[in-house]
Structure 1
């Protein structure tokens, strides 16, 4: 069995219209959310062996702040293909993982991350948390999927169970949606 974590970047700043999407940093709420989620990820204690991440600024800042709050950061592989990737591309990236670590934390963007959850977790009622993701997989959300596979190369649609899902607002209501979102 393998375990896949999915961590969406925290809330980004849209105030500077001159910045490319790739270069957008986190806003104040995003910085707070990233730190809070880092603590939660540590307390959830999966023991991530590898992080696969988009190199976009908002993702690198999310990982940095979450790692500081957690007191550790596993080895990171930055992969430009993860930036705004589709679920199919994310599955390809995961299938390529060598040395088959038992656990991988994937950090990136929607809609690809949300679609990945829908592709890996069957819509058969076996994962009630899937319904929450159908409503929204917001910024800084963290999900854990247990996969019925022995090797990452064997990753296929429908092989997962969504066993954990936390959003920043679940830990601190002030980090939930506001009227300006």
Structure 2
């Protein structure tokens, strides 16, 4: 793989969760969330991105989202369940991504709002096509994902260095 090839990161918000009498961290997916997670997995597969690494929050709803979505991918990437993704701010998520080994070209981050949407907004200085407009109009509903690219090492990831390549959200 050429060192000139940009890195790609997909920021994926967990699917719709249920609200049973459990702690926020332990909330499972709702029926709609299970359906949307599988659809999002098919849409992730359609991107054709060969993911090297998936960083997933330890919350139940993110783990369930990833378990359903990854089944749709042609190849399962190495998955790391990372406690620091839960309730993380965009700055905390950037700090976590800065630790990514440089042999990982394409990373999927499965997390929560407002951190995931905020991260997409602060990283992207430009957008291809209408992806930025669609993301701004729709926000970042459950099971949505944004695809970004940037040049350089993971240590160089900082606000404004990425281009928003695409955005997808399930239909309501």
Q: Secondary structure at the match of 2:71?
A: helix
Matched, 1:142 2:145: yes
Which structure has greater helix proportion? Answer: 1
Q: Distance in 2 between matches of 1:88 and 1:9?
A: 19
Q: How many residues align?
A: 166
Q: Distance in 1 between matches of 2:163 and 2:102?
A: 23
Moved more, 157-166 or 98-107: 98-107
Q: Secondary structure at the match of 1:34?
A: helix
Confirm or deny: 8 A CA contact 2:55 2:109 kept in the other structure: yes
Q: Distance in 1 between matches of 2:25 and 2:129?
A: 33
Q: 2:90 aligns with which of 81, 87, 96?
A: 87
Matched, 1:2 2:2: no
Residue 48 (structure 1) aligns with: 51
Unaligned runs of 5+ in 1: 170-175, 177-181
Alpha-carbon displacement from aligned partner over 1:71-120 (angstroms, at most 9, x marks no partner)? 54211111111001100000000001124311100110000011101111
Q: Distance in 1 between matches of 2:74 and 2:105?
A: 21
Residue 11 (structure 1) aligns with: 16
Change over 3 Å in CA distance of 1:114–1:127 after alignment to 2: farther
Residue 152 (structure 1) aligns with: 154
* TM-score, structure 2 as length reference: 0.91
Confirm or deny: 8 A CA contact 2:15 2:34 kept in the other structure: yes
Confirm or deny: 8 A CA contact 1:100 1:151 kept in the other structure: no
Residue 114 (structure 1) aligns with: 117
State the Cα RMSD in Å.
Answer: 1.5
Structure 1 residue 143, shift from structure 2 partner: 1.1
Residue 41 (structure 2) aligns with: 38
Q: Secondary structure at the match of 1:69?
A: coil
Change over 3 Å in CA distance of 1:96–1:127 after alignment to 2: farther
Confirm or deny: 8 A CA contact 1:121 1:162 kept in the other structure: yes
* TM-score, structure 1 as length reference: 0.86
Unaligned runs of 5+ in 2: 1-5
Residue 165 (structure 1) aligns with: 167
